[in-house]
A and B are shown apart, each in its own frame.
Chain A
Amino acid sequence: MADLSINLAGIKSPNPFWLASAPPTNTGYQVQRAFEAGWGGAVWKTLGEPIINVSSRFAAVHFNGQRVAGFNNIELITDRPLEVNLKEIYETKKRFPNHAIIASLMVEPTQEKWHEIVKRVEAIGVDGLELNFGCPHGMAERGMGAASGQQPDLVQAQTTWVKEVATTPVIVKLTPNITDITVVARSAVQGGADAISMINTINSLAGVDIHSWNTLPNVGGQGAHGGYCGPAVKPIALSMVAECARDLGVGVPISGIGGISTWQDVVEFMLMGATGIQVCTAVMHHGFRIVEEMIDGLNNYLDDKGLASVTELIGKSVSRYSNWGDLDLNYKVVARINEENCINCNKCHIACEDASHQCIDMLTNADGKAILQVREEDCVGCNLCSIVCPAEGAIDMIPLENGAAPLTWNERQKVISSLNGSYSEAEVV
Protein backbone atom coordinates (compact mmCIF):
# COMPACT_ATOMS: atom_id res chain seq x y z
CA MET A 1 0.00 0.00 0.00
CA ALA A 2 1.39 3.37 -1.02
CA ASP A 3 2.04 6.29 1.29
CA LEU A 4 -0.79 8.77 0.76
CA SER A 5 0.55 11.48 3.06
CA ILE A 6 1.40 14.88 1.66
CA ASN A 7 3.17 18.00 2.81
CA LEU A 8 1.77 21.11 1.17
CA ALA A 9 4.08 24.03 1.91
CA GLY A 10 4.64 22.70 5.42
CA ILE A 11 1.06 21.60 6.06
CA LYS A 12 1.12 17.86 6.69
CA SER A 13 -1.85 15.68 6.01
CA PRO A 14 -2.37 11.89 6.15
CA ASN A 15 -3.76 11.97 2.62
CA PRO A 16 -4.31 14.50 -0.17
CA PHE A 17 -8.08 14.64 0.34
CA TRP A 18 -9.16 17.90 1.94
CA LEU A 19 -12.59 19.38 2.26
CA ALA A 20 -12.83 22.79 0.66
CA SER A 21 -13.99 25.82 2.56
CA ALA A 22 -17.75 25.54 2.09
CA PRO A 23 -20.94 24.34 3.81
CA PRO A 24 -19.46 20.88 4.69
CA THR A 25 -16.83 22.58 6.87
CA ASN A 26 -19.18 24.94 8.66
CA THR A 27 -18.91 23.35 12.11
CA GLY A 28 -16.75 21.16 14.29
CA TYR A 29 -19.43 18.49 14.21
CA GLN A 30 -19.14 18.25 10.44
CA VAL A 31 -15.36 18.40 10.21
CA GLN A 32 -14.91 15.76 12.90
CA ARG A 33 -17.32 13.44 11.13
CA ALA A 34 -15.41 14.08 7.92
CA PHE A 35 -12.12 13.14 9.58
CA GLU A 36 -13.73 10.00 10.98
CA ALA A 37 -14.78 9.12 7.42
CA GLY A 38 -11.21 9.45 6.19
CA TRP A 39 -10.66 13.00 4.97
CA GLY A 40 -7.10 14.10 5.58
CA GLY A 41 -7.74 17.79 5.99
CA ALA A 42 -10.36 20.47 6.01
CA VAL A 43 -10.37 24.12 5.10
CA TRP A 44 -12.78 25.62 7.58
CA LYS A 45 -15.66 27.61 6.14
CA THR A 46 -14.45 31.15 5.69
CA LEU A 47 -14.08 33.13 8.89
CA GLY A 48 -14.67 36.84 9.01
CA GLU A 49 -17.25 39.21 10.35
CA PRO A 50 -20.30 36.94 10.60
CA ILE A 51 -22.77 37.58 7.81
CA ILE A 52 -26.48 37.09 7.33
CA ASN A 53 -27.51 34.64 4.63
CA VAL A 54 -30.67 34.49 2.57
CA SER A 55 -32.90 31.46 2.43
CA SER A 56 -32.96 29.52 -0.85
CA ARG A 57 -29.21 29.47 -1.54
CA PHE A 58 -28.45 26.58 -3.85
CA ALA A 59 -29.40 25.46 -7.31
CA ALA A 60 -28.06 22.75 -9.58
CA VAL A 61 -27.75 22.02 -13.24
CA HIS A 62 -28.83 18.48 -14.07
CA PHE A 63 -27.75 17.29 -17.46
CA ASN A 64 -29.19 14.43 -19.42
CA GLY A 65 -30.11 12.38 -16.39
CA GLN A 66 -27.05 13.21 -14.33
CA ARG A 67 -27.99 15.00 -11.15
CA VAL A 68 -25.77 17.91 -10.14
CA ALA A 69 -23.52 18.16 -13.17
CA GLY A 70 -23.06 21.72 -11.98
CA PHE A 71 -23.85 23.41 -8.70
CA ASN A 72 -24.60 27.03 -7.96
CA ASN A 73 -24.70 28.81 -4.61
CA ILE A 74 -25.35 32.25 -3.24
CA GLU A 75 -24.37 31.37 0.32
CA LEU A 76 -21.80 33.63 1.93
CA ILE A 77 -19.04 33.05 4.49
CA THR A 78 -19.68 31.93 8.05
CA ASP A 79 -22.66 33.41 9.84
CA ARG A 80 -21.27 32.37 13.21
CA PRO A 81 -19.15 34.49 15.56
CA LEU A 82 -15.40 33.98 15.35
CA GLU A 83 -15.09 32.72 18.91
CA VAL A 84 -17.63 29.98 18.28
CA ASN A 85 -15.71 28.78 15.25
CA LEU A 86 -12.36 29.00 17.03
CA LYS A 87 -13.60 26.94 19.95
CA GLU A 88 -14.74 24.21 17.57
CA ILE A 89 -11.48 24.35 15.61
CA TYR A 90 -9.58 23.89 18.88
CA GLU A 91 -11.71 20.92 19.86
CA THR A 92 -11.39 19.34 16.45
CA LYS A 93 -7.63 19.79 16.32
CA LYS A 94 -7.30 18.30 19.79
CA ARG A 95 -9.22 15.22 18.69
CA PHE A 96 -7.45 14.92 15.33
CA PRO A 97 -3.92 16.25 15.87
CA ASN A 98 -2.56 14.60 12.73
CA HIS A 99 -5.19 15.96 10.40
CA ALA A 100 -4.80 19.29 8.66
CA ILE A 101 -7.06 22.14 9.65
CA ILE A 102 -6.71 25.25 7.58
CA ALA A 103 -8.67 28.37 8.37
CA SER A 104 -10.14 30.20 5.42
CA LEU A 105 -10.17 33.93 6.07
CA MET A 106 -11.84 36.95 4.53
CA VAL A 107 -11.88 40.48 5.87
CA GLU A 108 -11.94 43.98 4.46
CA PRO A 109 -8.72 44.82 2.63
CA THR A 110 -6.92 46.72 5.39
CA GLN A 111 -3.75 45.80 7.22
CA GLU A 112 -5.40 46.12 10.64
CA LYS A 113 -8.26 43.78 9.80
CA TRP A 114 -5.91 41.13 8.43
CA HIS A 115 -3.54 41.37 11.37
CA GLU A 116 -6.37 41.04 13.84
CA ILE A 117 -7.95 37.94 12.36
CA VAL A 118 -4.65 36.17 11.64
CA LYS A 119 -3.48 36.62 15.21
CA ARG A 120 -6.74 35.46 16.72
CA VAL A 121 -7.05 32.41 14.48
CA GLU A 122 -3.45 31.28 14.79
CA ALA A 123 -3.61 31.61 18.58
CA ILE A 124 -6.11 28.74 18.65
CA GLY A 125 -3.78 26.42 16.74
CA VAL A 126 -4.42 25.86 13.04
CA ASP A 127 -2.08 24.24 10.55
CA GLY A 128 -2.36 26.96 7.97
CA LEU A 129 -4.38 29.82 6.56
CA GLU A 130 -6.20 30.15 3.26
CA LEU A 131 -7.01 33.66 2.12
CA ASN A 132 -10.33 33.75 0.33
CA PHE A 133 -9.83 36.08 -2.63
CA GLY A 134 -12.28 34.18 -4.73
CA CYS A 135 -15.87 34.19 -3.52
CA PRO A 136 -17.74 35.87 -6.40
CA HIS A 137 -21.00 36.82 -4.77
CA GLY A 138 -22.20 38.82 -1.81
CA MET A 139 -18.82 39.50 -0.28
CA ALA A 140 -17.44 40.79 -3.56
CA GLU A 141 -20.02 43.57 -3.53
CA ARG A 142 -18.48 44.62 -0.20
CA GLY A 143 -14.97 44.80 -1.67
CA MET A 144 -13.88 41.35 -0.46
CA GLY A 145 -13.53 37.92 -2.05
CA ALA A 146 -13.31 38.02 -5.84
CA ALA A 147 -13.43 41.82 -5.85
CA SER A 148 -9.99 41.95 -4.27
CA GLY A 149 -8.87 38.76 -5.97
CA GLN A 150 -9.34 40.38 -9.37
CA GLN A 151 -6.84 43.11 -8.53
CA PRO A 152 -3.27 41.81 -8.54
CA ASP A 153 -2.01 44.73 -6.44
CA LEU A 154 -4.60 44.04 -3.75
CA VAL A 155 -3.79 40.34 -3.76
CA GLN A 156 -0.15 41.12 -3.22
CA ALA A 157 -0.78 43.75 -0.56
CA GLN A 158 -3.17 41.62 1.45
CA THR A 159 -0.90 38.60 1.26
CA THR A 160 1.96 40.76 2.47
CA TRP A 161 -0.10 42.00 5.41
CA VAL A 162 -0.97 38.45 6.38
CA LYS A 163 2.62 37.29 6.08
CA GLU A 164 3.74 40.13 8.35
CA VAL A 165 2.13 38.36 11.29
CA ALA A 166 1.39 34.78 10.20
CA THR A 167 3.38 31.95 11.71
CA THR A 168 1.71 29.15 9.76
CA PRO A 169 1.80 28.55 5.98
CA VAL A 170 -0.36 30.90 3.94
CA ILE A 171 -2.36 29.62 0.98
CA VAL A 172 -3.94 32.18 -1.33
CA LYS A 173 -7.19 30.99 -2.93
CA LEU A 174 -7.67 32.43 -6.38
CA THR A 175 -10.73 33.40 -8.34
CA PRO A 176 -11.27 32.00 -11.82
CA ASN A 177 -13.27 35.09 -12.74
CA ILE A 178 -10.28 36.73 -14.36
CA THR A 179 -8.63 36.61 -17.77
CA ASP A 180 -5.26 35.18 -16.77
CA ILE A 181 -5.04 33.46 -13.40
CA THR A 182 -1.24 33.34 -13.50
CA VAL A 183 -1.12 37.13 -13.10
CA VAL A 184 -2.79 37.03 -9.69
CA ALA A 185 -0.95 33.83 -8.79
CA ARG A 186 2.35 35.63 -9.31
CA SER A 187 1.09 38.58 -7.29
CA ALA A 188 0.24 36.25 -4.43
CA VAL A 189 3.72 34.78 -4.57
CA GLN A 190 5.26 38.24 -4.66
CA GLY A 191 3.25 38.98 -1.53
CA GLY A 192 4.84 35.99 0.13
CA ALA A 193 2.24 33.24 -0.37
CA ASP A 194 3.53 29.82 0.59
CA ALA A 195 1.01 28.11 -1.68
CA ILE A 196 -1.98 28.86 -3.85
CA SER A 197 -5.31 27.09 -4.24
CA MET A 198 -7.71 27.19 -7.14
CA ILE A 199 -10.33 27.54 -8.32
CA ASN A 200 -12.99 29.28 -6.34
CA THR A 201 -16.44 29.32 -7.92
CA ILE A 202 -17.29 30.80 -11.30
CA ASN A 203 -19.82 33.60 -11.75
CA SER A 204 -23.07 31.96 -12.71
CA LEU A 205 -26.81 31.94 -12.99
CA ALA A 206 -27.96 28.33 -12.72
CA GLY A 207 -31.05 28.84 -14.82
CA VAL A 208 -34.43 30.44 -15.32
CA ASP A 209 -37.67 28.58 -14.60
CA ILE A 210 -39.47 28.83 -17.93
CA HIS A 211 -42.84 28.41 -16.23
CA SER A 212 -42.57 30.97 -13.44
CA TRP A 213 -39.87 33.07 -15.17
CA ASN A 214 -37.99 33.19 -11.87
CA THR A 215 -34.25 32.69 -11.62
CA LEU A 216 -32.75 29.56 -10.05
CA PRO A 217 -32.33 29.96 -7.17
CA ASN A 218 -34.55 32.89 -6.31
CA VAL A 219 -35.31 34.64 -3.09
CA GLY A 220 -38.96 35.55 -3.14
CA GLY A 221 -38.86 36.07 -6.89
CA GLN A 222 -35.50 37.83 -7.05
CA GLY A 223 -32.21 36.26 -8.00
CA ALA A 224 -28.55 37.25 -8.02
CA HIS A 225 -25.43 35.83 -9.59
CA GLY A 226 -23.81 33.01 -7.69
CA GLY A 227 -20.78 30.78 -7.72
CA TYR A 228 -20.66 27.74 -10.01
CA CYS A 229 -18.85 24.54 -9.15
CA GLY A 230 -19.22 20.77 -9.47
CA PRO A 231 -18.14 18.34 -12.21
CA ALA A 232 -18.95 20.82 -14.99
CA VAL A 233 -16.15 23.16 -13.93
CA LYS A 234 -13.40 20.55 -13.66
CA PRO A 235 -11.82 21.23 -17.08
CA ILE A 236 -11.64 24.95 -16.31
CA ALA A 237 -10.05 24.29 -12.94
CA LEU A 238 -7.61 21.77 -14.34
CA SER A 239 -6.50 24.20 -17.01
CA MET A 240 -5.90 26.94 -14.45
CA VAL A 241 -3.93 24.58 -12.19
CA ALA A 242 -1.84 23.55 -15.19
CA GLU A 243 -1.19 27.15 -16.24
CA CYS A 244 0.05 28.02 -12.76
CA ALA A 245 2.05 24.81 -12.40
CA ARG A 246 4.05 25.52 -15.56
CA ASP A 247 4.55 29.20 -14.83
CA LEU A 248 8.06 29.72 -13.49
CA GLY A 249 6.94 32.97 -11.86
CA VAL A 250 4.53 31.08 -9.64
CA GLY A 251 6.64 28.21 -8.34
CA VAL A 252 4.75 27.40 -5.13
CA PRO A 253 2.70 24.32 -4.23
CA ILE A 254 -0.86 24.19 -5.51
CA SER A 255 -3.98 22.89 -3.81
CA GLY A 256 -6.32 21.88 -6.63
CA ILE A 257 -10.04 22.57 -6.41
CA GLY A 258 -12.88 22.40 -8.91
CA GLY A 259 -15.30 19.60 -9.71
CA ILE A 260 -13.22 16.83 -8.16
CA SER A 261 -15.53 13.89 -7.52
CA THR A 262 -13.48 10.72 -7.96
CA TRP A 263 -10.02 9.36 -7.27
CA GLN A 264 -9.34 9.63 -11.00
CA ASP A 265 -9.98 13.38 -10.80
CA VAL A 266 -7.48 13.56 -7.95
CA VAL A 267 -4.83 11.79 -10.02
CA GLU A 268 -5.41 14.21 -12.91
CA PHE A 269 -5.04 17.29 -10.71
CA MET A 270 -1.89 15.93 -9.07
CA LEU A 271 -0.36 14.96 -12.40
CA MET A 272 -1.04 18.52 -13.54
CA GLY A 273 0.82 19.98 -10.59
CA ALA A 274 -1.40 19.93 -7.53
CA THR A 275 0.23 18.74 -4.31
CA GLY A 276 -3.19 18.03 -2.80
CA ILE A 277 -6.82 18.61 -3.62
CA GLN A 278 -10.00 19.97 -2.07
CA VAL A 279 -13.57 18.77 -2.55
CA CYS A 280 -16.93 20.36 -1.88
CA THR A 281 -19.72 19.66 -4.36
CA ALA A 282 -19.23 15.89 -4.45
CA VAL A 283 -19.61 15.82 -0.67
CA MET A 284 -22.69 18.03 -0.83
CA HIS A 285 -24.11 15.55 -3.32
CA HIS A 286 -23.02 12.25 -1.83
CA GLY A 287 -21.79 12.86 1.72
CA PHE A 288 -18.47 12.50 3.51
CA ARG A 289 -18.15 8.77 2.89
CA ILE A 290 -17.26 9.20 -0.76
CA VAL A 291 -13.72 9.59 0.51
CA GLU A 292 -13.58 5.87 1.28
CA GLU A 293 -13.81 5.00 -2.40
CA MET A 294 -11.42 7.79 -3.28
CA ILE A 295 -8.79 6.44 -0.88
CA ASP A 296 -9.23 2.85 -2.06
CA GLY A 297 -9.13 3.85 -5.70
CA LEU A 298 -6.04 5.99 -5.30
CA ASN A 299 -4.27 3.27 -3.32
CA ASN A 300 -4.99 0.65 -5.95
CA TYR A 301 -3.92 2.97 -8.74
CA LEU A 302 -0.60 3.75 -7.06
CA ASP A 303 0.00 0.04 -6.42
CA ASP A 304 -0.78 -0.77 -10.04
CA LYS A 305 1.66 1.91 -11.15
CA GLY A 306 4.28 0.68 -8.72
CA LEU A 307 4.47 4.02 -6.95
CA ALA A 308 5.41 4.11 -3.28
CA SER A 309 4.05 7.57 -2.58
CA VAL A 310 1.24 9.70 -3.91
CA THR A 311 3.71 12.56 -4.09
CA GLU A 312 5.35 10.82 -7.04
CA LEU A 313 2.37 11.92 -9.13
CA ILE A 314 2.85 15.62 -8.53
CA GLY A 315 3.46 17.53 -11.72
CA LYS A 316 4.31 14.54 -13.89
CA SER A 317 2.10 15.77 -16.75
CA VAL A 318 3.02 19.46 -16.56
CA SER A 319 5.75 19.20 -19.19
CA ARG A 320 3.19 17.64 -21.54
CA TYR A 321 1.05 20.77 -21.38
CA SER A 322 2.28 23.42 -23.75
CA ASN A 323 1.19 26.26 -26.02
CA TRP A 324 -0.77 25.66 -29.20
CA GLY A 325 2.06 27.20 -31.18
CA ASP A 326 4.42 24.51 -29.95
CA LEU A 327 2.30 21.55 -31.06
CA ASP A 328 3.46 19.42 -33.98
CA LEU A 329 1.49 20.29 -37.13
CA ASN A 330 2.73 17.14 -38.81
CA TYR A 331 1.38 14.77 -36.17
CA LYS A 332 -1.49 12.86 -37.73
CA VAL A 333 -4.17 10.58 -36.36
CA VAL A 334 -7.10 9.10 -38.25
CA ALA A 335 -10.30 7.39 -37.19
CA ARG A 336 -10.65 3.69 -37.77
CA ILE A 337 -13.99 1.94 -37.32
CA ASN A 338 -14.01 -1.59 -35.96
CA GLU A 339 -16.86 -3.40 -37.65
CA GLU A 340 -17.14 -6.04 -34.95
CA ASN A 341 -17.93 -3.41 -32.31
CA CYS A 342 -19.87 -0.96 -34.46
CA ILE A 343 -23.63 -0.94 -33.87
CA ASN A 344 -24.34 1.01 -37.07
CA CYS A 345 -26.08 3.84 -35.29
CA ASN A 346 -24.55 6.24 -37.84
CA LYS A 347 -23.80 8.89 -35.24
CA CYS A 348 -20.21 9.09 -36.44
CA HIS A 349 -21.37 9.60 -40.02
CA ILE A 350 -23.83 12.33 -39.01
CA ALA A 351 -21.26 14.11 -36.84
CA CYS A 352 -18.63 13.94 -39.57
CA GLU A 353 -21.03 15.04 -42.30
CA ASP A 354 -22.58 17.90 -40.34
CA ALA A 355 -19.80 19.11 -38.12
CA SER A 356 -16.47 17.93 -39.43
CA HIS A 357 -14.86 16.92 -42.73
CA GLN A 358 -17.29 14.52 -44.43
CA CYS A 359 -15.01 11.51 -44.51
CA ILE A 360 -17.13 8.66 -43.08
CA ASP A 361 -19.00 6.80 -45.80
CA MET A 362 -22.10 4.64 -45.33
CA LEU A 363 -21.42 1.59 -47.49
CA THR A 364 -22.67 -1.93 -48.03
CA ASN A 365 -20.13 -4.71 -47.84
CA ALA A 366 -19.94 -7.84 -49.98
CA ASP A 367 -22.34 -9.64 -47.66
CA GLY A 368 -24.92 -6.92 -48.04
CA LYS A 369 -24.32 -5.60 -44.55
CA ALA A 370 -24.38 -1.88 -43.93
CA ILE A 371 -20.97 -0.64 -42.78
CA LEU A 372 -19.33 2.66 -41.98
CA GLN A 373 -15.89 3.35 -43.35
CA VAL A 374 -13.45 6.21 -42.91
CA ARG A 375 -11.67 7.64 -45.94
CA GLU A 376 -8.43 8.01 -44.03
CA GLU A 377 -6.79 10.32 -46.54
CA ASP A 378 -9.56 12.87 -45.94
CA CYS A 379 -9.74 12.39 -42.16
CA VAL A 380 -8.24 15.28 -40.22
CA GLY A 381 -8.19 13.28 -36.98
CA CYS A 382 -10.48 15.66 -35.11
CA ASN A 383 -11.69 12.89 -32.72
CA LEU A 384 -15.34 13.94 -33.06
CA CYS A 385 -16.60 10.56 -34.30
CA SER A 386 -14.93 8.73 -31.43
CA ILE A 387 -16.38 11.26 -29.00
CA VAL A 388 -19.98 10.83 -30.14
CA CYS A 389 -19.73 7.05 -30.66
CA PRO A 390 -21.80 5.22 -28.02
CA ALA A 391 -20.24 1.80 -28.65
CA GLU A 392 -17.13 0.98 -26.65
CA GLY A 393 -14.21 0.07 -28.91
CA ALA A 394 -16.02 0.83 -32.15
CA ILE A 395 -13.74 3.71 -33.19
CA ASP A 396 -10.03 3.98 -32.54
CA MET A 397 -7.93 7.01 -33.30
CA ILE A 398 -4.76 5.67 -34.89
CA PRO A 399 -1.54 7.68 -35.17
CA LEU A 400 -0.13 7.56 -38.70
CA GLU A 401 3.53 7.73 -39.54
CA ASN A 402 3.73 10.15 -42.46
CA GLY A 403 7.47 10.53 -42.59
CA ALA A 404 7.34 14.28 -42.06
CA ALA A 405 9.60 15.79 -39.45
CA PRO A 406 7.86 17.52 -36.54
CA LEU A 407 7.00 21.14 -37.32
CA THR A 408 5.26 23.53 -34.96
CA TRP A 409 3.41 26.69 -35.90
CA ASN A 410 6.06 28.77 -34.19
CA GLU A 411 8.83 27.02 -36.09
CA ARG A 412 6.86 27.44 -39.32
CA GLN A 413 6.50 31.17 -38.83
CA LYS A 414 10.21 31.51 -38.13
CA VAL A 415 11.04 29.55 -41.28
CA ILE A 416 8.80 31.78 -43.41
CA SER A 417 10.18 34.92 -41.84
CA SER A 418 13.74 33.78 -42.35
CA LEU A 419 13.06 32.73 -45.95
CA ASN A 420 11.38 35.99 -46.85
CA GLY A 421 14.19 37.97 -45.27
CA SER A 422 16.92 36.16 -47.13
CA TYR A 423 15.82 37.24 -50.60
CA SER A 424 15.67 40.73 -52.02
CA GLU A 425 12.63 41.69 -54.05
CA ALA A 426 14.81 41.70 -57.15
CA GLU A 427 15.89 38.15 -56.54
CA VAL A 428 12.31 37.06 -56.00
CA VAL A 429 11.22 38.98 -59.07
Chain B
Amino acid sequence: MSAFAEFAKEQQEVDGLLFKGYTIAGILEDLDGARIKFVRAEPAKSAVELMLLTADARKYVTTLIFAGHGVSEK
Protein backbone atom coordinates (compact mmCIF):
# COMPACT_ATOMS: atom_id res chain seq x y z
CA MET B 1 0.00 0.00 0.00
CA SER B 2 1.30 3.47 -0.82
CA ALA B 3 2.15 5.81 2.03
CA PHE B 4 -0.66 8.08 0.96
CA ALA B 5 -3.16 5.23 0.97
CA GLU B 6 -2.10 4.26 4.49
CA PHE B 7 -2.55 7.83 5.61
CA ALA B 8 -5.89 8.17 3.82
CA LYS B 9 -7.19 5.09 5.59
CA GLU B 10 -6.25 6.45 9.00
CA GLN B 11 -7.58 9.89 8.13
CA GLN B 12 -10.93 8.36 7.22
CA GLU B 13 -11.06 6.58 10.57
CA VAL B 14 -10.41 9.84 12.40
CA ASP B 15 -12.96 11.74 10.34
CA GLY B 16 -15.47 8.92 10.82
CA LEU B 17 -15.26 9.13 14.59
CA LEU B 18 -15.56 12.91 14.55
CA PHE B 19 -18.57 12.60 12.27
CA LYS B 20 -20.17 10.30 14.80
CA GLY B 21 -19.86 13.00 17.44
CA TYR B 22 -16.68 11.94 19.15
CA THR B 23 -14.15 14.52 20.23
CA ILE B 24 -10.45 14.06 20.82
CA ALA B 25 -9.70 13.84 24.52
CA GLY B 26 -6.11 12.76 24.66
CA ILE B 27 -3.04 11.73 22.72
CA LEU B 28 -0.48 9.29 24.00
CA GLU B 29 2.62 8.94 21.83
CA ASP B 30 4.97 6.01 22.24
CA LEU B 31 7.27 3.78 20.24
CA ASP B 32 4.37 2.33 18.29
CA GLY B 33 2.74 5.56 17.18
CA ALA B 34 0.00 7.72 18.66
CA ARG B 35 -2.99 6.44 20.63
CA ILE B 36 -5.80 8.92 20.13
CA LYS B 37 -8.52 8.85 22.75
CA PHE B 38 -11.95 9.86 21.55
CA VAL B 39 -14.90 10.45 23.88
CA ARG B 40 -18.60 11.02 23.32
CA ALA B 41 -21.25 11.98 25.85
CA GLU B 42 -24.35 11.32 23.75
CA PRO B 43 -26.31 9.17 23.26
CA ALA B 44 -24.37 7.25 25.88
CA LYS B 45 -21.02 8.03 27.41
CA SER B 46 -18.42 6.12 25.49
CA ALA B 47 -14.76 6.20 24.56
CA VAL B 48 -12.77 4.85 21.65
CA GLU B 49 -9.05 4.55 21.18
CA LEU B 50 -7.53 4.79 17.73
CA MET B 51 -3.93 3.87 17.05
CA LEU B 52 -2.38 6.03 14.35
CA LEU B 53 0.76 4.74 12.70
CA THR B 54 1.47 7.13 9.84
CA ALA B 55 3.26 10.41 10.34
CA ASP B 56 0.75 12.26 8.19
CA ALA B 57 -2.17 11.00 10.26
CA ARG B 58 -0.47 11.93 13.51
CA LYS B 59 0.16 15.36 12.03
CA TYR B 60 -3.42 15.57 10.77
CA VAL B 61 -4.90 14.99 14.20
CA THR B 62 -2.83 17.67 15.86
CA THR B 63 -3.51 20.07 13.02
CA LEU B 64 -7.21 19.57 13.67
CA ILE B 65 -6.79 20.23 17.36
CA PHE B 66 -4.57 23.24 16.73
CA ALA B 67 -7.30 24.67 14.50
CA GLY B 68 -9.86 24.05 17.22
CA HIS B 69 -11.59 21.17 15.49
CA GLY B 70 -12.35 17.77 16.95
CA VAL B 71 -12.10 18.85 20.56
CA SER B 72 -14.91 19.63 22.94
CA GLU B 73 -15.27 23.18 24.23
CA LYS B 74 -14.42 22.64 27.87
Q: Which residues of A contact B (CB under 8 A)?
A: 329-330, 357, 359, 375, 377-378, 380, 404-405, 407, 411-412, 415-416, 419-420, 422-423, 427-429
Contact = CB atoms under 8 A, between A and B. Distances in A.
B27 A357 contact: no
Contacts of A330: 59, 63
A348 B15 CA distance: 35
Interface in B17-74: 24-29, 37, 39, 45-47, 59, 62-63, 65-67, 71, 74
Contacts of B24: 419
Interface residues of B, number: 22
A377 B4 contact: yes
A411 B66 contact: yes
Given A375-B2, A428-B39, A429-B47, A415 B66 contact: yes
Nearest to B59: A329
A427 B39 contact: yes
Contacts of B65: 415-416, 419
B67 to A, nearest CB: 5
Contacts of A420: 26-28
Given A378-B4, A428-B47, A419 B27 contact: yes
B26 A407 contact: no
Given A416-B27, A419-B25, A420-B26, A429 B39 contact: yes
B14 to A, nearest CB: 14
Given A378-B3, A378-B4, 6 more contacts: A405-B66, A415-B66, A416-B62, A419-B25, A427-B25, A429-B46
Contacts of A329: 59, 63
Given A378-B2, A378-B3, A378-B4, A423 B26 contact: yes
Between B25, B28, B71, B74, the greatest number of chain A beta carbons within 10 A of the residue's beta carbon is seen for B25
